[in-house]
Amino acid sequence: MRKYLFRGKHSQCDEWLIGFYYEDRRKNPKILIDDPYLGLRECFVIPETVGQFTGLHDKNGKKIFEGDIVRICCGHEEETTINEILFKFGEWRAYDIGGDQDALYNQILNCEHEVEIIGNIHDNPELLNMET
C-alpha cells in the first residue's frame, strides 16, 4: 500500500516537518507528525512549502518530495540535468530547469537510481537558475 506523506516548513521556525497534511476548520494548514518523544502533535506549516512524497528515493536513500531539485544523470556526464520535481499530467515528473523550459522528462522512475537531491525550491531558489 502506498504511504501518503507530506513535507512542509514549520510556520514559526526553519524546521521541515514530515507527516499527514490537513487543514483545520479555520483552513489553517497543518501537518500531523508522530514525534518519537512527544507522540502525535500537529504543527502549523507555511502552505506554499507543502509538497507530497513521490514514493521514490534518490540514490542516497533520501525521500523525493514535490518541490525538490534533483540532479539526474542518465548514463553519461554530458546527459546530466538539473530538474524540479512536479506532479503533472497525472504522474510525477522531473521538469528540466537548465534546458528547454517546455520539456518534461519521462517519469523519474526511468532513472531512479541516478537521481540525487541537491536542494529544494524553498531553501535553494538559486538552483532554479543553474545551468548544467
Please list the rounded mean pLDDT of every run of 10 residues in the chain (132 residues).
Answer: 86 94 95 91 95 90 93 72 84 74 51 79 86 53
110 by DSSP, 3-state: which?
A: helix
Predicted model pTM: 0.84
Domains and CATH numbers, the chain: 6-49 (no CATH), 54-129 (2.30.30.290)
Q: State residue 76's pLDDT score.
A: 61
Strands 29-35 and 104-107: unpaired
